[in-house]
Structure 1
Amino acid sequence: MAFIDAAIQVLILIFAVAMFIAIQYFPKQALTKLRTKNRASLQSNRHFIQGTHFLAKAKSTSHKSQSLSLAKNALLEAETAISLSPRDPAPLLLKALALDLMGHKGSALKALESALSSPRVKSLEGRERGDALIKRAELKMAVNRRRRVDSAIDDLKEGVKLSGEGERALCLLGQCYEWKGMREDAKWAFGEALKVQPGSVEARNGLDRLGLQ
């Protein structure tokens, strides 16, 4: 009996020591990990913001060589941000846009696929996800229209729901329907685009091709 009591007391002592260590040690470990994570996140955000500035300048300049150079800088900043925060979809979206501007549409599509994959896509707000889906549809049609038109339509329909009925997305949706021979659906999409932007040349041209103007 005395042996059992002694064993229980030893177990209680071990448990108390373990609890003390847990209280003293693990919060510090968690705090250290959190600080490291936050530091990496802040650095990633800095590179992301710098990259978006480069991309904006690349899009605004009319000089092709300067635009390409700025797009490359944006890509480098995006790659650095990705290395620091690999689960963040935003740098991957930046990478896709930079690659697209550089003419590397296949690689841009791969970057977008990664950004829209689980669990990264959960970090995107509704409109951000919608815009990304619309851009992915655009790249799908540019890379391999024949094989990807159906999935592009799916992306555009979902993208329009999430982002609002934008003229560009509706016109692209109309083109997809037109290419598949779905005239009534194409007419609807181009018509909706005109409601959003009455002066849309692309939408009017689409209706002209369908013989509906």
Structure 2
Amino acid sequence: MATEIVIQLALLLLTLAMFVAVHKLPRQALNKLRTKNRAALHTNRHFVQGSHLLARARSTHHRAQSQAHAKSALIEAEKALSLSPKDPTPHLLKAHALHLMGHTASAIRSLDLALSPPRVRSLSESARGDALVTRAELKLAMNRKRRVDSAVDDLVEAVRLSGISDKATAFCLLGECYERKGMREEAREAFQEALRVEPGLVAARQGLSRSGP
């Protein structure tokens, strides 16, 4: 008799525990979803504000104002990253702000983070291609020989992407890379590809002229 009472009591406690779990777990999942959505909302707000500031920094011809807007854009990017560190888009915003502020090496590091797995998987082809081109351009701006091969890798990958927004510039930069490496034929082909995409691209025409007949 005592054994039956113990078993019934155990079953009652198990039923009660299951009842609590069934009602508690959905609430925990809902709270987690709400927290995630709230973070995403605030991240997007900081990103949009930072993008507006970056556009203002690029449009003004007054250096002090441009630098001030770029710094404010950087602050917004940092706020977005504090909320969503796995999101690549704030890293892209941060890279562009740093570039405008003259911090090329730091801008490249931010692009490295945006293009690193698993973040890069959430970027569209267009965004990934543009980021690769920007990173290659910054590497070339540093004017270091060891950066050229890395820039070539970025640009070769970028021109393979169908969604890239400025393929002509990518081919033109690729031609400049080959020029620096002394690969005249490859440079010429890259400049020709740039002109096929955008016939009026002056930099490509100049590059083609440098590469010889």
TM over 0.5: yes
Aligned to 1:32: 31
Q: How does 1:65-76 map to 2 (within 5 A)?
A: 65-76=64-75
Q: How does 1:1-213 map to 2 (within 5 A)?
A: 3=3, 9-143=8-142, 145-162=144-161, 163-164=163-164, 166-212=167-213
Please, which runs of 5 or more residues in structure 1 have no aligned partner?
Answer: none
TM superposition shift of 1:185: 1.2
Give the 3-state SS of the residue equivalent to 2:173 in structure 1. Answer: helix
TM superposition shift of 1:111: 0.6
TM superposition shift of 1:190: 0.1
Whole-angstrom CA distance in 2 between matches of 1:17 and 1:52 = 52
Give the 3-state SS of the residue equivalent to 1:189 in structure 2. Answer: helix
| Alignment RMSD | 1.8
TM superposition shift of 1:82: 0.8
Whole-angstrom CA distance in 2 between matches of 1:8 and 1:168 = 77
TM superposition shift of 1:8: 5.2
Deviations 1:65-104 (A, max 9, x none): 1111111111111111111111111111000001001110
Give the 3-state SS of the residue equivalent to 2:182 in structure 1. Answer: coil
Deviates more, 1:126-135 or 1:8-17: 8-17
Please, which runs of 5 or more residues in structure 2 have no aligned partner?
Answer: none
Decide whether aligned partners of structure 1 residues 11 and 117 sit closer, same or farther in structure 2, where only a CA change above 3 A counts.
farther
Matched residue type, 1:192: E
Whole-angstrom CA distance in 1 between matches of 2:18 and 2:124 = 41
Amino-acid identity (%): 60
Deviates more, 1:123-132 or 1:155-164: 155-164
Whole-angstrom CA distance in 2 between matches of 1:178 and 1:10 = 83
Q: How many residues align?
A: 211
Deviates more, 1:133-142 or 1:160-169: 160-169
Matched residue type, 1:129: R
Give the 3-state SS of the residue equivalent to 2:142 in structure 1. Answer: helix
TM-score by length of 2: 0.92
Give the 3-state SS of the residue equivalent to 1:62 in structure 2. Answer: coil
Matched residue type, 1:109: I
Check the 8 A contact 2:185/2:211 in 1, yes or no: no
Check the 8 A contact 2:120/2:128 in 1, yes or no: yes
Deviations 1:170-190 (A, max 9, x none): 110001111112222111110
Deviations 1:100-131 (A, max 9, x none): 01110000001111111111111111111111
TM-score by length of 1: 0.92
TM superposition shift of 1:10: 4.7
